[in-house]
Amino acid sequence: MGGKEKEYVAEAFATNWVAPLGPNVDAFEKQLAEQLGVKQVAALNTGTAALHLGLQLLGVQAGDTVLCQSFTFAASAFPILYGHAKPVFIDSEEQTWNMDPALLEQAITDEIALGKKPAAVIAVHLYGMPAQMNEIMAILDRYEIPLIEDAAEALGSTYQGKACGSFGKIGVLSFNGNKIITTSGGGALASTDEELVKKARFYSTQSKEPAPYYLHKEIGFNYRLSNICAGIGRGQMEVLPERVERRREIYDFYLQELGTIDGIVFLPEPEGSFSNRWLTTILFDEKIFGAGFNETVRQALEKINIETRPLWKPLHQQPVFSEVKAYLNGVSDKLFAEGLCLPSGSNTTDESLQRVVQEIKKLL
Ligand SMILES: *Cc1c(COP(=O)(O)O)cnc(C)c1O
């Protein structure tokens, strides 16, 4: 926690705004809108809910095709299945580890040739690194396909000066416990289209029509963020700049200590991109260290109580998605085979970072 969270939560208790919605939700939404540079944001109870609502708002129907980045957390794609739409996975490019624009275009033209234009695309800024938005947006503009931008890991990241989460027809944020800021659990849906955000608020509170009795003309959801959780979010937003600064410091430290070692690969920021460095991720080049060295390191560190993690296992490798069509180029397979997420929490001390680096060097 950053400092003021308890105050805002206490305020909610003192004023009896414990029930859903209230001043903390309004204030938190305002902070988020300012951060993203959009007019309106709807605070929701998870990022997954925001993705699901996003698909609903774009009118994605059962049987529609939705193209989704393969190298991501499963929550990016699960909501496609909630509505019985059809996911198709797109592999990553090597510069940012996000959606490969060339494969995206190939998938779009193939789907069109098969008789149906994809209804939406879900691109992700994984680990806080902005995707190649110019290229992706140019393709989607050309084919007139709406983008859902999964910025769950990228709050505070920018691409050519513009906030991640503000490019898509729909932008999605998450405040789950593992993210750069948290509301214990929460998410948000952003859009430059104010009507879409208003509609998101309507759908997320059970689509109640303005009537004295409960009147529903459309299917609703219970996806709103509570005023208590939003109080935590308000305090967290005040420390977001510090969080980003600390995460970037942690990346710089690892880079300085490990970056000159032959075969250890970092993910540099391309010109014009600013990453929040949510997690520092490295690759152990198989040609230098042999296959599976990332897992050898992970297990050795685990024994001495240092937690590291594999990178996201690509969705096309997940049993639950085994039937899903995928456009692959080997990039995400290689990332998963070679990669490791290093301890990156904003509160990791310099001593802990030193220790992580020393232990990794010993293993080498
Ligand atoms: C965390 C995360 C989500 C889901 O957010 P929740 O708030 O946990 O539902 C979606 N996509 C990505 C890339 C994430 O990291």
- pLDDT for 327: 98
**Which of 44, 153, 189 to probe ligand 1 with, by most ligand atoms within 8 A of CB?**
153
Q: What is the pLDDT of residues 229-278, one digit of tens each?
A: 999 999 999 999 999 999 999 999 999 999 999 999 999 999 999 999 99
Query: What does the pLDDT average to over 210-222?
Result: 96
CA-nearest of 260, 292, 293, 267 to 282 is 267
- What whole-number percentage of the chain has pLDDT above 90? 96
Chain centroid offset of residue 56 CA: 19
Atom of ligand 1 nearest to the CA of 51: 10
Cα–Cα dist 257/360, whole Å: 10
Our CA angle for 206, 210, 216, nearest 5°, is: 40
- Please tell me the distance from the alpha carbon of residue 188 to that of residue 298, in angstroms, as a whole number: 33
pLDDT at residue 176 in the model: 97
- The residue that leads in pLDDT, 238 or 3, is 238
- List C-alpha distances in Å: 144 to 103, 140, 303, 337: 17, 6, 51, 35
- pLDDT at res. 358: 98
State how far the Cα of 188 lies from the Cα of 167, in Å rounded to an integer: 15
pLDDT at residue 16 in the model: 85
Residue 171 beta carbon below 6 angstroms from any ligand 1 atom: no
- Whether residue 131 is predicted with pLDDT greater than 90 in this model: the reply is yes
pLDDT at 109: 98
Those residues whose C-beta lies under 8 Å from the C-beta of residue 35, and which sit 6 or more positions away, are: 155, 156, 163, 237, 240
Give every CB contact of residue 280 below 8 A, 6+ residues apart in sequence.
247, 250, 251, 254, 266, 341, 342, 344
- pLDDT at position 18: 83
Going from the Cα of 179 to the center of ligand 1, the distance in angstroms, rounded, reads 8
What is the distance in A from the centroid of ligand 1 to the CA of 125?
A: 11
Question: What pLDDT does residue 1 have?
Answer: 85
Task: Domain 5-239: give its CATH code.
Answer: 3.40.640.10
Q: Do 150 and 172 touch, CB atoms closer than 8 A?
A: yes
Which residue's alpha carbon is at the smallest distance from atom 6 of ligand 1?
47
Is it true that 5-239 and 241-363 share their CATH fold? no
Query: Cα(293) to centroid of ligand 1, in Å?
Result: 28
Q: Note the pLDDT of residue 329.
A: 98
Query: How does pLDDT run across 120-130, given as a tens digit for each residue?
Result: 999 999 999 99
The per-residue pLDDT for range 68-99, each reduced to its tens digit, is 999 999 999 999 999 999 999 999 999 999 99
| In the chain, where the domains are located | 5-239, 241-363
What burial letters (b/e) apply to 100-126, b meaning 16+ CB within 10 Å?
bbebbbebbeebeeeeeebbbbbbbbb
* Conformation bin of residue 207: beta by default, left when phi > 0, alpha when psi is -120 to 50: left
Main-chain phi, psi angles of 341, to 5 degrees: -90, 125
Residue 263's Cβ-count burial label (10 Å; 0-12, 13-18, 19+) is middle
Asked if residue 187 lies in contact with residue 45, where contact means CB atoms within 8 angstroms, the answer is yes
> With contact defined as beta carbons under 8 Å apart, do 122 and 299 qualify?
no
CATH assignment, 241-363: 3.90.1150.10
> Ligand 1: which of 53, 124, 174, 341 to mutate, judged by most atoms within 8 Å of the beta carbon?
174
pLDDT of residue 2: 81
**Tens-digit pLDDT profile for residues 5-56:** 999 999 988 888 887 788 999 999 999 999 999 999 999 999 999 999 999 9
pLDDT of 3 reads 82
Question: Is 149's pLDDT higher than 90?
Answer: yes
Position with higher pLDDT, 9 vs 3: 9
Q: How confident is the model at residue 37, as a pLDDT?
A: 97
Mean pLDDT of the chain: 97
